[in-house]
């Protein structure tokens, strides 16, 4: 679980991930492949069972930023 200082940032990142996946522009499998993890890990993040490690959180931000840059972000702000 994130500490008190990182919790808002983690929550914001997971909200962006959820928005991306719900927009049907992204799939958990695609994201997992980019991160080199199991799709079930992405599912666990989305369902609140676990949170991404710092490394995966940073890579996830990179993934979402690339999608936004190329107009593939769905409704991400």
Taking the alpha carbons of 55, 58, 59, 60 in that order, is the dihedral positive or negative? positive
**Can you say whether residue 20 is alpha, beta or left, with left for phi > 0 and alpha for psi between -120 and 50 degrees?**
alpha
18, 46 contact by CB (below 8 A): yes
- 47 by DSSP, 3-state: which? coil
- Per-residue model confidence as pLDDT tens digits over 28-69: 889 999 999 999 999 999 999 999 999 999 999 999 888 877
**pTM here?**
0.74
Domain boundaries along the sequence of the chain: 7-69
What CATH number should be reported for the domain whose range is 7-69? 1.10.260.40
């Amino acid at each position: 679980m994130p500490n008190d200082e990182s919790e808002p940032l983690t929550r914001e990142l997971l909200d962006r991930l959820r928005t991306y996946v719900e927009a049907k522009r992204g799939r958990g499998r695609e994201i997992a492949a980019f991160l080199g993890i199991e799709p079930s890990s992405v599912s666990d993040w989305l369902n609140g069972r676990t949170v991404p490690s710092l490394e995966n959180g940073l890579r996830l931000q990179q993934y979402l930023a690339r999608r936004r840059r190329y107009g593939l972000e769905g409704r991400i702000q």
